[in-house]
Amino acid sequence: MYEIWLTLNILYELGLQYLPVVIGTALLWLALMAVAAARGRAGWARPSSRRSRSRSW
């Protein structure tokens, strides 16, 4: 039982150590998505059309 607790505690401590990096990366990703959506160049931000399914890149 002690080994399970120790393993979970180590994983928890490692998670706390890398939490600022994960939060920073998520905030950067959200900022980039907001900029892309505001520019209107993001394919995922455009309303879907009922035209042909083939896309011309």
Give the separation between CA 33 and CA 45, rounded to whole angstroms. 9
Give the separation between CA 14 and CA 20, rounded to whole angstroms. 11
Render each residue's pLDDT in the chain as its tens digit; 57 residues. Answer: 999 999 999 999 999 999 999 999 999 999 999 998 888 877 787 666 555 555 666
Q: Positive or negative, the Cα torsion across 39, 28, 26, 29? A: positive
Q: Are 27 and 35 in contact (CB under 8 A)?
A: no
Domain edges within the chain: 2-36
Entry pTM: 0.58
Residue with tokens 């890149």: 57
